[in-house]
Amino acid sequence: MEKLSFVGKSLPRKDAEIKATGKALYSADLDFPGMLHAAAVRNPRPRIKINGVSDAAAKKIAGYRALVTYKDLRGPNKWPLVDTDYPFLPEGEARFEGETVALVVADSHRAARAAAAAVEIKYKELPFETDPLKSLEKGAVKLYGQDNVFSKFFIKKGDARKALAEAAYTVEGEFTTNYQVHAYLETQGAIAVPQPDGGLVVYTTTQCPFYVLDAVAAACGLPYNKVKIIQTVTGGGFGGKEDVPALVASHAALCALKTGRPVRLIYDRTEDFRSMSKRHPSWSRVTYGADKNGRITSCVVKYVLDAGAYSTLSPIVLWRGTVHAAGPYEIDNVLIETYAAATNKVPAGAFRGFGQPQISFAQESLIDELAAKAGRDPMDFRLHNLLDPGDITATGQELTSSCGLRELVEAVREKSGWDKWAENGFRRVEGNKARGLGVSAAYYGVGLGAKGRYLDRAGALVNIYKDASVTVNVGNTEMGQGALTVLAQIAAETLNAPYGSVRVEEVDSTKVPDSGPTVASRTTLMSGNAIIEAAKPIRDNLFKTALDMLKAKGADIAGMMEASEGVFSIADHKVTFGEVVKECWNRRLKMCEEGWYAAPRTTYDMKDGQGDAYVTYSYSADVAEVEVDLETGVLRVVKLWGAFDVGKIINPRLAEGQAQGGMLQGMSWAVYENLVYRNGIMANPNFTDYVIATTADKPEYDITFIEKDYEDGPYKAKGMGEVPLIGVAAAVANAVKAASGARVTSVPLLPEKIWKGLEERKAAGGKK
Ligand code: MTE
Ligand code: MOS
């Protein structure tokens, strides 16, 4: 076993102090001389034909400066994303309520808001569609292409229909899930500052500075080297700051170019709700078949995502959902078809788990039903079917590396007292309240996988100054998950530099090459490996020099040199990292290097969905204990047990935080969050009417990590940011079923849905 000094320890967060004391500077805190303020003019209706935009009334507002429309673009009106259907600013048609139609610039934030309200959009209403299933029907209003399908995928393995016909037990169900709002504390915002040479510097809250670079350069018709993107301290992302900050920043940039002044554009909460991305609502029909021995033989899935008005990241989200739709089981016959449908609602995008939590809720709910039909304990049934090392996934991928799912399921079984609960059918009743226990399992492909293969690379720059302080530049961002800390630990470990001397910078697009987006739990793996790559040659110089210095001190260099905690030693001769760096500088050795890591090739055929989808997978098992009020259907999650295999844990305390946060966010989506549209208008775009779980709702947590080494990961780590969210909804729904007998097939599991299930059971003569 390698002895590690910094990796695997709960070292303090690098950004703890500035965030806890309020010293951190977010986008809205930055000011520049001569800075103006922008505000968006938004589409008031679900779908309109734009006949003109008039600022006649806005001109009367003191401090009003300019109106910015698509006419001010200096490049093609296509925001470059996966597809290019989303214009930077609409020309003929606006397609969802809240879409930015134009921008105004004024001397103050307040004046800009007033001016935006005074701008008149002249429009005619167009027919619209808000239901994704109706949008896919023949004869639907045409919103995109011939069929309103932004993207579709298939997986075909074996003969699933035949296997279903031959199965001893089959189950089928339809499931729906609603939106989830990212609810980051900091709303979207950007500041664009014109440069003397005609270029721009853009400061913005974002997960993906390089997506911002692509967009700003395109909108402004500037070469990349005249645009600099600086990520400001980012107050949460959760996928919500993957694509859309590029749009916000492009709008700020256009305003800055038009006025020649720095321009700040900060969203308020309501407009953030109405116009920024969300977790996709979903509909799915899932069918499973099992043989008489309880082996799953067949899985058939149809899965539809409500993508909203533009394609944005739907292809990526849908593909991930597709790959994982059969669940973490070895099944010989699989048939999956999936669609992202256009509707006249806010474009949905990335949210922690990327299309997986939705389908996991559906398929893991049904696995319980299948186990019941087969007369098996749900835990045993999963253990009987789950993916083990060497097994083959739905896409035909052999799991050759790190896979601890079996141990995870066994861990939550043991810790939750599952077998004791089994004696009472996983149900305990006291008065009007019933408690129940439910389980789920999940797997999660780390990184972008075959669909985003060309983006799956990262760069790093490591620089050691003369005073032995270390700066690391990377292309992936800190958004609360702890990247600055984890990456500093990796750099410190590789260089044998004291942890306190290493500083990882927020991203500056001019300092590192395009490192892809900070999504898909890829940062530790991708940027971590890039840092190791950069640090290796420096490490060689440091270690050789240290050995020379120890020899000069009289050490017997036949003995092994130890490098630990920032000190190099042989027996009782020692030199510190600082002394070694100084000597390296004296010798004019290179103390600055760059690194590059590209994910290994994945082979995947989009036609039948067969091949290696992801380089590796993380795994989870969850057990939920819930309490259901049998009179009202009110649900409370009492305790969540989570077990995770995310490879080596770089920082246990941060990992625990990610697990708790992810589980709470998953529970919040499962139980509370309910964004409502009425006739194409968002009805509750604020935190008064849109309810999320708070610390008051927090369940008790019991978290276990089982570290299965991933050989190609930095210090054998995989990725952990998203896994803890994925399985929570299904575990809760399964626990609700155990407690109340009600199988709720729709997230959120609102009291009225549970109550309806209770009433149906009573009517059918079921037990109370
Ligand atoms: N944790 C915090 N505190 N804030 C966030 O915005 N985003 C999540 C997760 N954990 C997020 C978070 C999402 S969606 C992802 S993809 C991962 O962190 C990204 O981080 P990683 O690549 O470092 O794992
Ligand atoms: Mo996370 S949804 O991959 O940003």
* Ligand 2, atom nearest to 352 Cα: 2
The encoded tokens of residue 164 equal 């279903």
Percent of the chain exceeding pLDDT 70 equals 99
What pLDDT, on a 0 to 100 scale, did the predictor assign at position 557? 85
What pLDDT, on a 0 to 100 scale, did the predictor assign at position 767? 54
Cα gap 350→208, rounded to integer Å: 12
The answer regarding whether domain 31-126+182-275 maps to CATH 3.30.365.10 reads yes
Tally: H helices and E strands in the chain: 19, 32
DSSP codes of every residue in 164-200 = HHH-SEEEEEEEEE--B----SSPPEEEEEE-TTS-E
Evaluate: CB of 618 within 6 angstroms of ligand 2: no
Q: Are 444 and 739 in contact (CB under 8 A)?
A: no
pLDDT tens across 239-289, in order? 999 999 999 999 999 999 999 999 999 999 999 999 999 999 999 999 999
The answer regarding whether domain 282-450+605-763 maps to CATH 3.30.365.10 reads yes
| C-alpha distances in Å from residue 51, one per residue of 69, 151, 352, 550 | 13, 31, 39, 79
Please give the average per-residue pLDDT across 127-149, as a whole number: 97
Given a cut of 90, whether residue 764 has pLDDT beyond it is no
Q: Which of 600, 683, 619 is nearest to 274 (CA)?
A: 683
Bridge partners for 624 per DSSP: 438, 640
What pLDDT, on a 0 to 100 scale, did the predictor assign at position 301? 98
pLDDT tens across 207-217, in order? 999 999 999 99
Please give the average per-residue pLDDT across 43-63, as a whole number: 98
Please give the average per-residue pLDDT across 519-531, as a whole number: 96
The residue nearest atom 13 of ligand 1, judged by CA position, is 238
pLDDT tens across 103-125, in order? 999 999 999 999 999 999 999 99
What pLDDT, on a 0 to 100 scale, did the predictor assign at position 765? 77
Q: Which residue is associated with the tokens 């969210």? A: 725
519 CA from centroid of ligand 2 (Å): 4
540 CA from centroid of ligand 2 (Å): 36
Evaluate: CB of 753 within 6 angstroms of ligand 2: no
What pLDDT, on a 0 to 100 scale, did the predictor assign at position 454? 86
Given a cut of 90, whether residue 766 has pLDDT beyond it is no
For 425, residues 6+ apart whose C-beta sits below 8 A from its C-beta are 738
What pLDDT, on a 0 to 100 scale, did the predictor assign at position 216? 98
32 CA from centroid of ligand 1 (Å): 30
The residue nearest atom 4 of ligand 2, judged by CA position, is 239
Evaluate: CB of 677 within 6 angstroms of ligand 2: no
What pLDDT, on a 0 to 100 scale, did the predictor assign at position 559? 80
pLDDT tens across 71-81, in order? 999 999 999 99
Pocket test for ligand 1, best of 241, 279, 479 (most atoms within 8 A of CB): 479
Evaluate: CB of 208 within 6 angstroms of ligand 2: no
238 CA from centroid of ligand 2 (Å): 6
Q: Would strands 610-611 and 604-605 be described as parallel, antiparallel, or unpaired?
A: antiparallel
Flag whether the pTM goes above 0.85: yes
Evaluate: CB of 350 within 6 angstroms of ligand 2: yes
Q: Which ligand is nearest to the CA of 483?
A: 1
* Ligand 2, atom nearest to 242 Cα: 4
128, amino acid identity = F
* Ligand 1, atom nearest to 719 Cα: 24
Please give the average per-residue pLDDT across 220-243, as a whole number: 98
Q: Which of 266, 242, 160 is nearest to 518 (CA)?
A: 242
Q: φ and ψ at 166, to 5 degrees? A: -90, -5
Ligand 1 site residues (CB inside 6 A) read 236-239, 352, 479-481, 483, 518-524, 658, 661, 719, 721-722
454 versus 39: the higher-pLDDT residue is: 39
521 CA from centroid of ligand 1 (Å): 7
242 CA from centroid of ligand 2 (Å): 7
The residue nearest atom 4 of ligand 1, judged by CA position, is 480
What pLDDT, on a 0 to 100 scale, did the predictor assign at position 344? 98
* Ligand 2, atom nearest to 239 Cα: 4
Please give the average per-residue pLDDT across 680-703, as a whole number: 97
475 CA from centroid of ligand 1 (Å): 15
12 CA from centroid of ligand 1 (Å): 18
722 CA from centroid of ligand 1 (Å): 7
Lowest mean pLDDT among 129-138, 418-427, 447-456, 581-590: 447-456
642 CA from centroid of ligand 2 (Å): 20
Evaluate: CB of 444 within 6 angstroms of ligand 2: no
∠ Cα 692 352 455 (to 5°):
155
pLDDT tens across 554-568, in order? 999 888 899 999 999
Pocket test for ligand 1, best of 15, 234, 238, 317 (most atoms within 8 A of CB): 238
* Ligand 1, atom nearest to 519 Cα: 16
pLDDT band at residue 219 under the 50/70/90 scheme: very high
714 CA from centroid of ligand 2 (Å): 20
Burial of 712 by CB count in 10 Å (0-12 exposed, 13-18 middle, 19+ buried)?
Answer: middle
Given a cut of 70, whether residue 2 has pLDDT beyond it is no
665 CA from centroid of ligand 2 (Å): 13
Given a cut of 60, whether residue 1 has pLDDT beyond it is no
Evaluate: CB of 277 within 6 angstroms of ligand 2: no
Burial of 537 by CB count in 10 Å (0-12 exposed, 13-18 middle, 19+ buried)?
Answer: middle
Q: Which ligand is nearest to the CA of 526?
A: 1
On the question of a common fold for 16-22+457-598 and 31-126+182-275, the answer reads yes
pLDDT tens across 302-360, in order? 999 999 999 999 999 999 999 999 999 999 999 999 999 999 999 999 999 999 999 99
481 CA from centroid of ligand 1 (Å): 5
What pLDDT, on a 0 to 100 scale, did the predictor assign at position 558? 84
The residue nearest atom 3 of ligand 1, judged by CA position, is 480
Evaluate: CB of 207 within 6 angstroms of ligand 2: yes
Which CATH code is given to the segment(s) 16-22+457-598?
A: 3.30.365.10
* Ligand 2, atom nearest to 350 Cα: 2
402 CA from centroid of ligand 1 (Å): 22
Evaluate: CB of 242 within 6 angstroms of ligand 2: yes
- Sorted by where each begins, the domain ranges of the chain are 16-22+457-598, 31-126+182-275, 282-450+605-763
